[in-house]
Amino acid sequence: MAQIAYLNSFPAPNALEILAEHPQHNVIRVDGKAPLDECFDILRTANAYQCVGARDEVPVGLRVDETFLNRTPELLVVSASGSGVDVFDLEACTRAGVLAVNQAGANAQSVAEQALAMFNAQAFAKMKSGAIFVNAARGSIHNENALADAMDAHHIAGAGLDVWDVEPPPPAHRLLQMPNVIATPHIAGYTRDSLEKMAEHAATQLLTIFDGQRPPRPVNPAVLPVFRERYVARFKEPQWAD
């Protein structure tokens, strides 16, 4: 029924096990190291595209933007492994009638949408002197230069950072030169249980969508009426109304 393409791998192998229980769908791996034309030989007929949500982990040509969408006319759904959708141009997806979904809570939006630069210079100034700042959510939540300034001024005593604006951060990054910064490579949530849960959510959401049920975690819900029309044109009348 549906052609489901995934980039490199799901967060954990259980996603493929779940999908294998529904052999009516064709699940195909896209090798992110292969030439782009070879990747699009698969993607041009795909109805769903699954990948990680972080831009730095997806090759430029395989990020979902207007150019990508022009080469994937059958695409109905793009799915991110976690809550972040930085790899998707949501406005371009909406214009193309492509639904974007993530693995956040049913009513959640991307952290980046809700909390971009939440911690700026003013926010750090309002924190208690000597506070320790910890971010293991998304790099976009805090302004890195503002944090470094607050630490240089000895207002913020230290920081624990698992996420960065650019990952991996360059070795000469200002914050990495500070002895009171503990840095980890975006692994705080990477337990076996969490990866398996993300993989399960990704696989079951795709199955739910191609079973004609309402998408559980849409990131661009305004596209749903157009998405529904495109879905009907390719498959069957879904089980949910607008």
Q: What is the DSSP string of 78-113?
A: EEESSS--TTB-HHHHHHHT-EEE-SS-TT---HHH
User: At 117, is the pLDDT very low, low, confident or very high (cuts 50, 70, 90)?
Assistant: confident
CB 87 within 8 A of CB 55: yes
Q: What is the pLDDT of residue 7?
A: 97
Domain range summary for the chain, segments of one domain joined by + = 3-110+192-234, 112-183
Q: What is the mean pLDDT of the chain?
A: 90
CATH topology of domain 112-183: Rossmann fold (3.40.50)
**CATH homologous superfamily of 3-110+192-234:** NAD(P)-binding Rossmann-like Domain (3.40.50.720)
Whether the pLDDT of residue 114 is over 60: the answer is no
Max CA-CA distance within the chain? Answer: 62
Whether the pLDDT of residue 122 is over 70: the answer is yes
Q: What is the pLDDT of residue 115?
A: 62
Contacts of 106 (CB under 8 A, 6+ apart): 216, 217
The Cα–Cα gap between 53 and 79 comes to 8
The Cα–Cα gap between 157 and 126 comes to 14
Whole-prediction pTM? 0.74
Whether the pLDDT of residue 21 is over 60: the answer is yes
Question: 77-80 and 99-101 as β-strands: parallel, antiparallel, unpaired?
Answer: parallel
User: At 242, is the pLDDT very low, low, confident or very high (cuts 50, 70, 90)?
Assistant: low
The pair phi, psi for residue 4, each rounded to 5°, is: -110, 115
Question: Which range is most confident: 34-43, 46-55, 102-111?
Answer: 34-43
Of residues 138 and 74, more confidently modeled: 74
Average pLDDT over residues 120-143: 92
Closest CA to 47 of 122, 111, 98: 98
Q: What is the pLDDT of residue 165?
A: 86
In the three-class reduction of DSSP (H, G, I as helix; E, B as strand; rest coil), residue 230 is classed as: helix
Q: Do domains 3-110+192-234 and 112-183 have the same CATH topology?
A: yes
Q: What is the pLDDT of residue 110?
A: 41
